Structure 1
Amino acid sequence: MKLIAMEFSSKIMKALLLWISFFQVLFIVSTVSGERSDTRLLLTRNAVSRERHSEEYCAMYDICGAREDGKVLNCPFGSPSVKPDDLLSQKIQSLCPTITGNVCCSEAQFDTLRSQVQQAIPFLVGCPACLRNFLNLFCELTCSPHQSTFINVTTTAKVKGNLTVSGIDFYASDAFGEGLYESCKDVKFGTMNTRALNFIGAGAQNFTEWYAFIGRRAPA
């Protein structure tokens, strides 16, 4: 088992398309080809504006609402990546050591990320490489300063008058998905000697099945 590099790009010839609504999500897994355009139109609460796809630019930033069950929803407005204060930077580094400098997550978003991934850590802690790869996936999704190069906000919804993210396209290479799965597929959970993926992946036999399980929309 080994650590694998994150491979996100705005130009991916063979990519994994995941439709995500920030952790309480539905992943639609398919293979797409061709290049993403550098810009696209995004309907905002005030008007139609151009959404940038470039490094040091965010596809979404901060929290603009919550579902009835309390699960938070991101704001759908693109913005330049932000320099965190020293305390937040240290917090991010403690969980996401590959992310340095500017970020695309507020403190509230990072705290939500940390709370969410804590639920999976006990199942994967037996393999440091698997755990690191798993954390890298969600760290990059949430806080990467280059977020807009691999995320499109596709659907939004109004919650108590605020526009929130309800769906995104997330582009990652097949190589990353396969590497993540390979690093975790044989990890056993505690003294039960049972595959960890039986608990956090419904017994997935490949990376597309695992992503499909992770991405099931939680009931409201």
Structure 2
Amino acid sequence: MELSSKIMKALLLWISFFQVLFIVSTVSGERSDTRLLLTRNAVSRGRHSEEYCAMYDICGAREDGKVLNCPFGSPSVKPDDLLSQKIQSLCPTITGNVCCSEAQFDTLRSQVQQAIPFLVGCPACLRNFLNLFCELTCSPHQSTFINVTTTAKVKGNLTVSGIDFYASDAFGEGLYESCKDVKFGTMNTRALNFIGAGAQNFTEWYAFIGRRAPA
């Protein structure tokens, strides 16, 4: 139990800057590939369009060292060849321009390593899980499914302190269904007990992902 509590604490810190308003898309015309975050943002707050970012780069860190993104709504950026290859190695669905700097991607890669041991037994689950965070972090269409809702000054820099992200029921259910029965190694217990607080459906899992951890 001590091991699981430490791992859950680490994962909570990892996703601490997400403040989620989970919205289900019911408009079939707005659906896209269920591998991705799917729904266009229905809220007119800031600029929301293809090839546009809701946030870009790292502008600070919390007291616990967890990095905070910059609330810069800006066009997506063409990565250099090396960064493009690095992104493709973890996030094959992300091509062309991106909404993550090299520092953001390196942070993403180091942090998802914490979850991989729990999900590696099911390639489909692991891929879907990685797709979620790849899209949130680097998608060139990030502004179509993310709203920056709150910002905070950290050492004089404006940082993201809360976001809403929007996903469809199809994506949420697909991710949960692919992972719900995955077992963690020799402990023979559900991986979601560790990385989802024992979620019994996708809304419970997303609520866990969106929980704000204390600094």
Instruction: Tell whether the structures are fold-level matches, with TM greater than 0.5.
Output: yes
**CA separation of 1:13/1:198 partners in 2, compared to 1, >3 Å: closer, same or farther?**
closer
Measured after TM superposition, the shift of residue 185 of structure 1 is: 0.2
Measured after TM superposition, the shift of residue 119 of structure 1 is: 0.5
Is the 1:25–1:218 contact (alpha carbons within 8 Å) kept by the matching residues of 2? no
How far apart in 2 are the matches of 1:31 and 1:16?
30
Number of aligned positions between the proteins: 215
1:151-181 Cα deviation digits (max 9, x unpaired): 1111111111111111111111011101100
The answer to which of 182-191 and 7-16 deviates more is: 7-16
Is the 1:15–1:173 contact (alpha carbons within 8 Å) kept by the matching residues of 2? no
The match for 1:152 among 123, 142, 147 is 147
Is the 2:125–2:179 contact (alpha carbons within 8 Å) kept by the matching residues of 1? yes
How far apart in 2 are the matches of 1:101 and 1:64?
24
How far apart in 1 are the matches of 2:145 and 2:200?
26
Measured after TM superposition, the shift of residue 108 of structure 1 is: 0.6
Measured after TM superposition, the shift of residue 31 of structure 1 is: 9.8
Q: Which secondary structure does the structure 2 equivalent of 1:17 belong to? A: helix
1:109-159 Cα deviation digits (max 9, x unpaired): 001111111100000000000000000000000000000111111111111
Match of 1:36 in 2: 31
**CA separation of 1:44/1:99 partners in 2, compared to 1, >3 Å: closer, same or farther?**
closer
**CA separation of 1:119/1:189 partners in 2, compared to 1, >3 Å: closer, same or farther?**
same
Is the 2:148–2:162 contact (alpha carbons within 8 Å) kept by the matching residues of 1? yes
Is the 2:118–2:191 contact (alpha carbons within 8 Å) kept by the matching residues of 1? yes
Measured after TM superposition, the shift of residue 92 of structure 1 is: 0.4
Give the % identical residues: 99
1:59-107 Cα deviation digits (max 9, x unpaired): 1100111001110111001011000011111110010001011000000
**CA separation of 1:205/1:76 partners in 2, compared to 1, >3 Å: closer, same or farther?**
same
**CA separation of 1:128/1:44 partners in 2, compared to 1, >3 Å: closer, same or farther?**
closer
Is the 1:58–1:145 contact (alpha carbons within 8 Å) kept by the matching residues of 2? yes
The answer to which of 16-25 and 191-200 deviates more is: 16-25
Is the 2:13–2:66 contact (alpha carbons within 8 Å) kept by the matching residues of 1? no
Q: Which has the higher helix share?
A: 2
Measured after TM superposition, the shift of residue 40 of structure 1 is: 27
How far apart in 1 are the matches of 2:5 and 2:182?
32
Measured after TM superposition, the shift of residue 51 of structure 1 is: 2.6
Measured after TM superposition, the shift of residue 216 of structure 1 is: 2.0
**CA separation of 1:144/1:18 partners in 2, compared to 1, >3 Å: closer, same or farther?**
farther
- List, as ranges, runs of 4+ consecutive aligned residues in structure 1 with deviation greater than 3 Å: 6-50
Measured after TM superposition, the shift of residue 219 of structure 1 is: 2.2
The answer to which of 10-19 and 176-185 deviates more is: 10-19
In structure 1, the gaps of 5 or more residues are 1-5
Is the 1:123–1:189 contact (alpha carbons within 8 Å) kept by the matching residues of 2? yes
**CA separation of 1:7/1:129 partners in 2, compared to 1, >3 Å: closer, same or farther?**
farther
Match of 1:188 in 2: 183
Higher relative contact order at CA 8 Å, sep ≥6: structure 1 or structure 2?
2
Measured after TM superposition, the shift of residue 34 of structure 1 is: 13
How far apart in 2 are the matches of 1:140 and 1:8?
29
**RMSD, matched Cα:** 9.6
How far apart in 2 are the matches of 1:168 and 1:61?
13
**CA separation of 1:158/1:204 partners in 2, compared to 1, >3 Å: closer, same or farther?**
same
Measured after TM superposition, the shift of residue 21 of structure 1 is: 5.8
In structure 2, the gaps of 5 or more residues are none
1:33-57 Cα deviation digits (max 9, x unpaired): 9999999999999999983211011
